[in-house]
Amino acid sequence: MKLAMVGLGRMGMNMARRLIQTGHEVVAYNRTGEKIDEIVKEGAIGAYALADLTEILAPPRTVWLMLPAGRPVDEHLDQLNGFLSPGDIVLDGGNTHFKDDVRRQAFLSVNGIHFMDVGVSGGIWGLKEGYCLMIGGDPEIYKYLEPVFKSLAPEDGYLYCGQTGAGHFVKMVHNAIEYGMMQAYAEGFDILDKSRYGASLDYSSLCHLWNRGSVIRSWLLELAESAFGKDPGLSAIKGYVEDSGEGRWTVEQAMETGVPAYVTALSLFARFRSREQDSFADRVLAALRSEFGGHTVLPAEEKS
Ligand SMILES: NC(=O)c1ccc[n+]([C@@H]2O[C@H](COP(=O)([O-])OP(=O)(O)OC[C@H]3O[C@@H](n4cnc5c(N)ncnc54)[C@H](OP(=O)(O)O)[C@@H]3O)[C@@H](O)[C@H]2O)c1
């Protein structure tokens, strides 16, 4: 098929490459032109303005957005809504909130433009391994685009999940599970590291071992093996962990529907915690213990 990839970041660029390598014609657009030049050298057709997509693609046009969630997606959709024709298709493959999908589908449908939401997992490894795709929207459009999904995914690596928002909803829960799994591994290694056995353990070898037939084997452990292999004590990086929204949205969803999602909530809060040192909450705790029990408090460190 011939389709456009809009957003040539870590994800969109490699997805464009995988599509080219599997025989699709990719029209590439990005805010910064150098990335377009780069993918044109690998066989893409460059579109240096979003409006050019209408000329380069023939109806029904397919435009895949791979942008940061939120305003960039709305800005692009506002523009595309002005250029595209009834019957054209826009897919959002970023980590978008499913409620935004419902709003955007309603917005585009006024002009007869189809909207599909696609949760994409696979990160920078997707080019080689394929991307796991969780797809929501009109089932007929899903069928029409199946050759594209098939090329991006590994074998059996894509699924129609339901009407608009279902793909991103499933991806949101996927990421919440990822938070919990990562937290469990992190705590396990912390317990090992603070034990009498920590000093004699080679964590890279341990990850390798745990991936040989153990119950907790996983791709995350392969990645941990690689990280410990490069830096056994992870001493070159700071223990500061970002979140990109899905954990928060999943906790909100769990609250809305009364689901006791302990692991997701605590894993999310652990990330917040990673960003604080000598927090106000900890100083309140220390002060209270001192007030009621005369317990020792340490003096504040001098601020440089
Ligand atoms: N990285 C992952 O492992 C991963 C996995 C699954 C899903 N996702 C999701 O996929 C989407 C893309 O992620 P990514 O990792 O590829 O991001 P990225 O490397 O930061 O790339 C973002 C792309 O969007 C463009 N962009 C950023 N802000 C823009 C704006 N305001 N207006 C126009 N273009 C803008 C950038 O253009 P410039 O080149 O001009 O900056 C760049 O091409 C996100 O929604 C992310 O959450 C990421």
State whether 15 and 83 are in the same domain: yes
**What residue's CA is closest to ligand 1, atom 11?**
94
Which residues are annotated as catalytic?
171, 178
Question: Residue 66 Cα, ligand 1 centroid: separation in angstroms?
Answer: 6
Q: Across the beta sheet with 89-92, what order do the strands follow?
A: 45-46, 25-29, 2-6, 62-65, 89-92, 114-121, 132-136, 158-162
**Ligand 1 atom with least separation from CA of 11:** 16
Q: What is the DSSP letter of 107?
A: H
State whether 145 and 181 are in the same domain: no
To the nearest 10°, the Cα dihedral for 60, 135, 111, 53? -50
Name the residue among 69, 92, 111, 76 with its Cα closest to residue 15. 92
Q: Domains in the chain: how many in total?
A: 2
**pLDDT tens for the chain, residues 1 to 304:** 999 999 999 999 999 999 999 999 999 999 999 999 999 999 999 999 999 999 999 999 999 999 999 999 999 999 999 999 999 999 999 999 999 999 999 999 999 999 999 999 999 999 999 999 999 999 999 999 999 999 999 999 999 999 999 999 999 999 999 999 999 999 999 999 999 999 999 999 999 999 999 999 999 999 999 999 999 999 999 999 999 899 999 999 999 999 999 999 999 999 999 999 999 999 999 999 999 999 999 999 876 6
Q: Which amino acid is at 73?
A: V
Domain annotation covers residue 264: yes
State whether 248 and 122 are in the same domain: no
State whether 59 and 24 are in the same domain: yes
Question: Residue 31 Cα, ligand 1 centroid: separation in angstroms?
Answer: 11
Q: What are the pocket residues of ligand 1 if the criterion is a CB atom closer than 6 Å to any ligand atom? A: 7-12, 30-32, 35, 66-69, 72, 94-95, 120-121, 123, 244
State whether 83 and 46 are in the same domain: yes
State whether 36 and 82 are in the same domain: yes
**Ligand 1 atom with least separation from CA of 122:** 5
What's the pTM? 0.94
pLDDT above 90 covers what percent of the chain?
Answer: 98
Domain annotation covers residue 254: yes
Domain annotation covers residue 224: no
Domain annotation covers residue 207: no
Question: Residue 17 Cα, ligand 1 centroid: separation in angstroms?
Answer: 16
Model pLDDT, residue 41: 98
Domain annotation covers residue 112: yes
State whether 119 and 251 are in the same domain: no
- Whichever domain contains 31, its CATH number is 3.40.50.720
State whether 15 and 86 are in the same domain: yes
State the residue range of the domain holding 253: 171-201+238-274
Contact yes or no for 79/72 (Cβ under 8 A): no
Element (H, E) at 158: strand 158-162
